[in-house]
Amino acid sequence: KGTHVRSWSLGMSDDAPPVTLPEERVVRWTADGRSTELVVATDPRHPGRPVLGEDEDGTPRLVEDGHVISRRTHPPSWSDAPPQSPPPHDAAHLRAYLEEAQHSGTLDTPELLDATALLLDNWTLGARESAALTRLLADDGGLRPAGRVTDRLGRPGHAYVYEGTGLRRMLIVNPATGAVLGLETTFTADQPEYGVRAGDVMEYRAWTR
């Protein structure tokens, strides 16, 4: 239980240019049920450069690479509801687990991708759980293979794409292990009111081990 994720998210408004917020988050759990969360402002694409962080009130400002945004310790959680409970390692039970975690009925493809991100933001999957997730995503039918890619951390993977209204979502999987490496959302149409163009990345998450 726990995760290590790097993310880039686009902050948009109708009265200012969009800004990219790069963060790295590490969540670890202790044997007594407590968890620690460390969030750092850093962009591995440009090591050592200042990056855009946020003040406590959410105001963006430049900070040094590695600046600690927050460090929290949470008390024990005894909830056994997903995503707190361990994920199952077969596809059918995993789908039911993700539906409960998302408080949803049958998940369509975008909802399944959101549930996958929620799962990986809480758990680092083992081989059996990764295999179950791979089977679940393959059986969904909404993702099409898009060939080999290199993710934003320089790791080789296979891409699977879902095309929605105005957005394109790409899931990147390690072909050797089936582990999900990243999930990217890209604009497919210009949105001049927010200062974004087709091809701009709205959000990216990269899970590491």
Can you give the pLDDT at residue 57? Answer: 66
pLDDT 10s digits, 116-150:
999 999 999 999 999 999 999 999 889 999 999 99
Can you give the pLDDT at residue 146? Answer: 94
- Per the structure, the complete domain to which residue 52 belongs is given by 2-207
How many Cβ atoms sit within 10 Å of the Cβ of residue 163?
Answer: 14
pLDDT 10s digits, 35-77:
999 999 888 777 788 877 666 666 667 788 888 888 999 898 7
Question: How far apart (Å, rounded) are the C-alpha atoms in residues 203 and 25?
Answer: 15
Q: What is the band of 27 on the pLDDT scale with cuts at 50, 70, 90?
A: very high
Instruction: Find the DSSP H helices in the chain.
Output: 91-101, 109-120, 127-140
Of 103, 174, 92, nearest to 136 (Cα)? 92
Can you give the pLDDT at residue 47? Answer: 78
Q: For 14-23, what is the mean pLDDT?
A: 80
pLDDT 10s digits, 183-209:
999 999 998 888 889 999 899 999 987
Q: Using an 8 Å Cβ cutoff, are 157 and 172 in contact?
A: yes
User: Residue 34 above 70 pLDDT?
Assistant: yes
Which residues neighbour 141 within 8 Å (Cβ) at sequence distance 6 or greater?
Answer: 109
Question: How far apart (Å, rounded) are the C-alpha atoms in residues 194 and 173?
Answer: 31
Q: Using an 8 Å Cβ cutoff, are 176 and 187 in contact?
A: no
pTM for the structure as a whole: 0.87
Q: For 157-167, what is the mean pLDDT?
A: 94
Can you give the pLDDT at residue 123? Answer: 94
pLDDT 10s digits, 70-108:
899 989 877 788 998 999 999 999 999 999 999 988 899
Mean pLDDT, the chain, as a whole number?
Answer: 89
The string over 173-206, giving b where at least 16 C-beta atoms fall within 10 Å of a residue's C-beta and e elsewhere, is: bbeeebbbbbbbbbbeeeeeebbbeeebbbbbbb
> How far are the Cα atoms of 16, 17, 179 from residue 132, in angstroms, in the given order?
43, 41, 10
User: How many domains, in total, are found in the chain?
Assistant: 1
